[in-house]
Amino acid sequence: MRHSLPHAPQFYVTAPQPCPYLHGRAERKLFTALAGDAANDLNNALSRQGFRRSQNVLYRPSCESCVACMSARIRVSEFVPTRTQRRVWRRNAGLRRLPTSAWATEEQYELFRRYLDERHADGGMADMDIFEFAAMIEETPVRTRVIEYRQAEPGSAEADRLIAVCLTDVLDDGLSLVYSFYDPLLEPLSLGTHIILDHVELARSAGLPFVYLGYWVPGSRKMDYKARFSALEIYKGGVWQPIGDPAQHSLDIHPLSVDPIVEQVARITLPQKPR
């Protein structure tokens, strides 16, 4: 179904399908195309309203009877790592960060396949081939970088080994982690945590106030790790607010408390067109 605002992008709603985070629930997404000269402005404006990017689409959960999925971001200036996170940072001090353009390589795909086969073999991306992977990386109309993390091979003259990758959008107010993956055999390095910590440092050095982590879902074990980062805030009830006690965010949402799609679209703030 299509929804629109005057002189604005068209918004659509997907058909309900099984939720990947909460058993027995159905997910539905509100989305719009991301293209043209105004793509960066639209990505910036909608990211601040809980949307996420996937290739040339911006989307936000819009389920019929649940509002569990909440966009999460770290306030960089207030972030203080925990003792465990400081250990992770020290443990990975020898990694080399290599920012590149949004261009897919066979080396990245091989790492991506190992990650999926070990961690998400039954997920929605499990059957992605190299062409679909390349589309995920390269089909972006906005400022996007691929951040590679490489580990030196002791006693080897070969190039450093690729062990982690993050597809990152550069917003006007922060860095948005679109998708990350890493060597599943290097679990002691806590590479997922290191990627987030390193993006906090990247944002700090660039003077950007936020690091966007995607969606946090209370009650989902897949998403628990995000709540372990300090200075975390969530987009809930149309505003960004400190997460507080994660246990206080109830999942029991009555269907009548979820606003109709038309009302949700009407409240979306779009970037101002230049005069």
What is the per-residue pLDDT for 60?
93
Summarize the confidence of residues 214-243 as an average pLDDT.
92
Q: What is the pLDDT of residues 194-212, one digit of tens each?
A: 999 999 999 999 999 999 9
More confident residue, 46 or 125: 46
pLDDT surpasses 70 at 252: no
pLDDT of residue 126: 73
Average predicted confidence (pLDDT) for the chain: 89
Q: What is the pLDDT of residue 195?
A: 98
**CA nearest to 174, candidates 141, 211, 124, 226:** 211
pLDDT(113) > 90:
yes
Please say if the pLDDT value at position 1 is more than 80.
no
The tens digit of pLDDT for each residue in 172-189 reads 999 999 999 999 999 999
Residues 6+ apart with CB under 8 A from 201: none
Percent of residues, the chain, with pLDDT higher than 90 = 65
Average pLDDT over residues 258-275: 80
Asked if residue 261 has pLDDT above 90, the reply is no
Query: Is residue 73 within 8 Å of 240, Cβ to Cβ?
Result: yes
Q: What is the pLDDT of residues 73-110, one digit of tens each?
A: 999 999 999 999 999 999 999 999 999 999 999 999 99
**What average pLDDT score do residues 14-34 get?**
88
**Other CB atoms within 10 Å distance of the CB of residue 243:** 20
pLDDT band at 133 (very low <50, low <70, confident <90, very high): very high
Question: Which residues belong to CATH 3.40.630.30 in the chain?
Answer: 74-228
- How much is the average pLDDT of 34-51? 94
Q: Residue range 156-164: average pLDDT?
A: 77
Long-range pairs of 54-59 with CB within 8 A, sequence gap ≥ 24: 54/136, 54/178, 55/135, 55/136, 55/139, 55/140, 56/139, 56/140, 56/141, 57/31, 57/32, 57/33, 58/31, 58/32, 58/33, 58/34, 59/29, 59/30, 59/31, 59/32
Confidence of residue 125 (pLDDT cuts 50, 70, 90): confident
Confidence band (pLDDT; 50, 70, 90) for 25? confident
Over residues 217-240, the mean pLDDT reads 91
The pLDDT, as a whole number, for residue 232 is: 97
Q: Which CATH number fits domain 74-228: 3.50.50.60, 3.40.630.30, 3.40.50.720, 3.90.226.10?
A: 3.40.630.30
Q: Is 214 left (phi over 0), alpha (psi -120 to 50) or beta?
A: left
- pLDDT at 167 (0 to 100): 98
